[in-house]
Structure 1
Amino acid sequence: MSGVGDKDEMRLLVTILTTAVLLLGSAWAGLGLALTGAGPEGAHGWRALGAGVLLAGACFVAWRRGSRWGAVAWVVAGCVGVSLWGRTVKPSTERDWAPDLEKVARADVDGTRVTFHDMRDFRYRSTTDWDASWFSGTYDANALTGAWFIVEPFSGFFGAAHTMVSFGFADGRYVVFSVEIRREKGETFSALGGLFRQFELVYVVGDERDLVQLRSNHRKDDVYLYPVKASKERVADFFMDMVARMNALHARPEFYDSVSNNCTTNLVKHFEKVSAVDVPYDHRTLLPAFSDALAYELGLIDTDAPLEVVRARHRINERAWAASNALDFSQRIRDPEAPRAASAP
């Protein structure tokens, strides 16, 4: 009797597994058809629905004929087909871009001297109302004084965050690199869409009164500004590697990927390249709100106190509010003795 029971349990397990494969595979194929290449017009629902009906019909026929593995084979074939078709959708640098991403930075490099063009320096009244401004500037990697790792956890989304890097120079200037999606007019960010070649990847480069203040003062997210513990040579290598990748994206654009080609994974790749250190890819990379914990483990930020104490020390929101639009904004958000706003609205 035990043998019969074991066989029944095995049949049940196989049924559960094949059903899961059918459901998950069909969902993935449907999302791929709906979202791949979707722009401001939104998801291509009819395309996904039509293909889904055909795939479901084929699976149903195979299952009814007693071949659950035949049904699985149809779903696997559908997923492979959708994946191969998705590869025919190519990234572009020529689209009707959102106004704040109409221009993206590029650079002329002469040894250690880097001249950026189309750096962003907007002045915001709100997240949707601003005075647009782009500028050019020349910076010498030999004059770098340090780098800062910036983490902006998203309010209301567990584990989600944006990460950036800012570089300081001997003349008091700061340059921020922000790896983002390049939105078209009418597009909004979607982590799900980011899995299906929906957005191009872009390196936005600009002033801290734009890229930092936008997040701390107008989006009203917490912003953490951590000094990076690294040699001047390592910081310079990191800076030059980011410049090279930024320029390369002009010649060979790429799609953003919510898992493998996003803000944090790109910073990790730059770090690994210039440091020869293998960074563990775990929840702290997949959920960037915890990326400072990874930096803490690697000794890249202060480790003289528990992480929660370090976080509190480097949260800059009150200082950013007090220094709103000030010419010395960058200096004041780094000064622990700087006046703080009584409360951030």
Structure 2
Amino acid sequence: MNRLLLVLLQLLLTIVVLGATAWGAGLLIFRLSGTIGIAAAIGFGIAGIAGAIGLWSGAPRLPLSFAVLFVGLLGWWSSLLPSHDRDWIPELARLPQIAREGDRLTVANLRNFRWRTEADYDQRWETRSYDLTKIEGADLFLSYWSGEAIAHLLVSFTFKESPPLTFSIEVRREKGEEWSSLAGFFRVYEMAYVAADERDIVGLRTHARGEDVRMFRLRISPEQSREVLLAYVADVNRLAAQPRWYNTIFTNCTTVVYRLVGSVAPGWSFTLPLDPRVVLSGYLPGYLKDIGAVRQDLPLGELIRLGRISERARTISLDDPDFSRLIREGVPSAQP
């Protein structure tokens, strides 16, 4: 029995050591440049394998040496601090800030670019005001660019007598920096909020990128929409004051929204812990259906079919002031 427990403990420690080895090697590859990073990762990988072997060969100095090396790597990792002061790509150069006076919100650095292609666009940064007493609801957009598993999420708040206010959580890339989902685990990218006009943030995806954008009207009252919007406002201002790392799993366009919406309890049946469909955001519509956040009287497939707006959106000019109204035509309303 004691022998079995010892073997199980060795197996557990081996898994921990090899997991730490993979994470540390990834950190070195993505945080150190070129051949230096590769060489450091190889060296760290050899140390990790030696540590795992030492667990079984009766050479405790090997796993202990690796543990010391790993603790040192953790110390370096924890010293990596996010920053607002980098040479950002133009569309993420400014972070929104939102002031509230009573029932009026004033959004500074609201993005309203006009996109012809991803590389050809007119830059427009604006300040807009919104009346919280005139909020009507909230809609969700999912933009698919590579298969069904992953999509980018946008949340848009609708108002009487005002255009929608749309939020996107994005990787804040520097000029010349490429996106890698693996690099997103290793404190490579900062997080950014974008507050935007739908003609910008949706039009970028429907017109300039040609992505498959799907829209879902959320079953949420004006009062609940207001609370969700104010949760956004608070987090937008927190980020503007204190930079934050983006993480591919834990701090991305869906997990952050999940926490924001859950914090104000809009009456949906949230599942805990985090549902895999929140991480694999392309499958989010099924999760929304299960928690009661979208129409319940229509099959999921019908909601998805009617929510595909890209083809219709591309027939509408991004200069058309009725863009937001027109892309909603045919999309099922929040209530029957």
Partner of 2:329: 335
- Is the Cα contact below 8 Å between 2:185 and 2:248 reproduced in 1? yes
In 1, the alpha carbon distance for the partners of 2:52 and 2:208 equals 55
- Is the Cα contact below 8 Å between 1:165 and 1:177 reproduced in 2? yes
What runs of 5+ residues in structure 2 fail to find an aligned partner? 332-336
Change in 2 beyond 3 A, CA 1:57/1:166: closer
Aligned residue for 1:217, secondary structure, equals helix
Choose the corresponding residue for 1:268, options 258, 261, 266.
Answer: 258
Following superposition, the deviation at residue 99 of structure 1 comes to 1.2
In 2, the alpha carbon distance for the partners of 1:259 and 1:187 equals 20
- Is the Cα contact below 8 Å between 2:111 and 2:125 reproduced in 1? yes
Residues 318-327 or 255-264, more deviating:
318-327
Following superposition, the deviation at residue 174 of structure 1 comes to 0.9
Change in 2 beyond 3 A, CA 1:61/1:180: closer
Choose the corresponding residue for 2:108, options 106, 112, 117.
Answer: 117
Partner of 2:87: 96
Residues 275-284 or 213-222, more deviating:
275-284
Following superposition, the deviation at residue 34 of structure 1 comes to 2.5
Choose the corresponding residue for 1:151, options 125, 138, 142.
Answer: 142
Tell me which amino acid in the other structure corresponds to 1:50: A
Q: Does 1:34 align with 2:25?
A: no
What runs of 5+ residues in structure 1 fail to find an aligned partner? 1-5, 37-41, 338-345
In 1, the alpha carbon distance for the partners of 2:48 and 2:213 equals 51
Q: Does 1:208 align with 2:208?
A: no
- Is the Cα contact below 8 Å between 2:14 and 2:52 reproduced in 1? no
Aligned residue for 1:94, secondary structure, equals coil
Q: Does 1:319 align with 2:312?
A: yes
Q: Does 1:238 align with 2:228?
A: yes
The within-5 A match list for 1:1-345 is 21-36=16-31, 43=33, 45-47=35-37, 49-50=39-40, 52-53=42-43, 56-57=46-47, 60=50, 63=53, 66-67=57-58, 71-156=62-147, 159-275=149-265, 279-325=272-318, 326-336=320-330
Following superposition, the deviation at residue 70 of structure 1 comes to 5.1
Tell me which amino acid in the other structure corresponds to 1:305: L
List per-residue Cα deviations over 1:276-332 (Å, max 9, x = no partner). Answer: 755541220111111121111111111212211111111111220111312211000
List per-residue Cα deviations over 1:113-144 (Å, max 9, x = no partner). Answer: 11111111111111121111111100011111
In 1, the alpha carbon distance for the partners of 2:91 and 2:27 equals 28
CA RMSD, Structure 1 to Structure 2 (Å): 2.9
TM-score between both structures, scaled by the size of structure 1: 0.85
In 1, the alpha carbon distance for the partners of 2:290 and 2:33 equals 40
List per-residue Cα deviations over 1:17-66 (Å, max 9, x = no partner). Answer: 77655544322111112224xxxxx8454145236426625853884792
- Is the Cα contact below 8 Å between 1:228 and 1:300 reproduced in 2? yes
Residues 61-70 or 311-320, more deviating:
61-70
% of aligned pairs identical? 31
Number of residue-to-residue matches in the alignment: 326
